[in-house]
Structure formats: C-alpha cells, structure tokens
Amino acid sequence: MNETPHTPLNPPRIETGRGLLIAGLGCHFTFADLSELPALWRRFDPHIGTVPGQVGHVAYGVCFNPDDAGGFDYIAGVEVADFAALPAEFARIPLAEQRYAVFTHTDHISTVRGTFMAIFNDWLPASDYQNAPAAPFERYDERFDARTGTGGFEIWIPIKDKANQE
C-alpha cells in the first residue's frame, strides 16, 4: 500500500454530519485489491432513484468493519428514511451524528486511493484530530459522473480532538 502516491490535499472543512440510514449493495474488500469496487457500483447504479424510501439523489460509499488483515466491508448505497421495505439482498448501515473532516477529491475516481493515503498518513497525524470510531464514507452528488469517473466527490473522515482521548 505504501507504493501508492499520496495526492496533494486541500485543507478539509470540519462539519458535524447528521445521522443517516444507508442502504445498498455490499461486499468485502481489501486495501490491496479494490478491483471489484467499480463492478459493485455498476450493479447498484440501476437501483439509484428506485430504492424504497430513498431520500434525495446523493449516493454514498461507506467503509466499515475493518479487520487486521487490511479488509473492510463496503456499501454502495443511498440514504433511506428507514430500512423496512428494502430488498433482502440490500446491506444496511446506520450512521450516527458525527464530527467529520470533509475532503474534496477532484481527480479521476481511480486515484482515490492516493487521497485516502494522504488523509490517513499525512494530514491526520499532523492535524489536531484523530480518527474517531465511526465509518468513513464517500459522498457522490450531482457533480460526479459515474460513466466517466470524473466530477469530484467528498470523502468524510470521522474525527475527534486529539486532546479528547475518550
């Protein structure tokens, strides 16, 4: 993973994100092999706009359940009002209200790994914050073009103050 170049970062904005319910298609990945991630989004794309209880038109990529082997679960999804009427194959994750450092990734989606590397290996250790025990996520609004992988999106990293060692 260290061979990935770090992307230059603009300073993030610090924001308290509201609680969200995210539902979509999920899969397990490793940081060493993200090759199936585009296929997950291609499988989910036809559902966007027709998910029962969908709220708005923003898509989310949520990373959670990291393991010691460099793996994690990921949901390509949308916000929903509740989980009640979802298809059985949909993964679900509630996100509590949380403070985040919000970064904008403006390059092609294929370079996102370098942005994550820069956030966690460069920005976070040098900042006044530490990673909070919550799920980071990507937020894809109308600027992002899924066909071309361009247009930019946001990366929301859960944070807490370094001085707050709770």
pLDDT single digits (tens) 22-49: 999 999 998 788 888 888 988 999 999 9
The pLDDT assigned to 156 comes to 98
Our measurement of the distance from residue 49's CA atom to the centroid of its chain's CA atoms, rounded to an integer in Å, reads: 19
Q: What are residue 106's phi and psi, to 5 degrees? A: -105, -15
Q: What is the mean pLDDT of residues 134-145?
A: 92
**Nearest partner of 11 among 131, 112, 101, judged by Cα:** 101
12 HSE (CA, 13 A, CB side): 27
Give the start-to-end residue ranges of the domains of the chain.
1-17+96-166, 20-95
- At 166, the pLDDT band (50, 70, 90 cuts) reads low
pLDDT single digits (tens) 99-136: 999 999 998 888 888 898 899 999 999 999 999 999 99
CATH 3.20.80.10 given to domain 20-95: yes
Secondary structure letter of residue 46 according to DSSP: G
Look up tokens 């066909």; give the residue.
147
Our measurement of the distance from residue 156's CA atom to the centroid of its chain's CA atoms, rounded to an integer in Å, reads: 7
Secondary structure letter of residue 150 according to DSSP: B
The pLDDT assigned to 164 comes to 63
Here the tokens at position 88 are: 């059985």
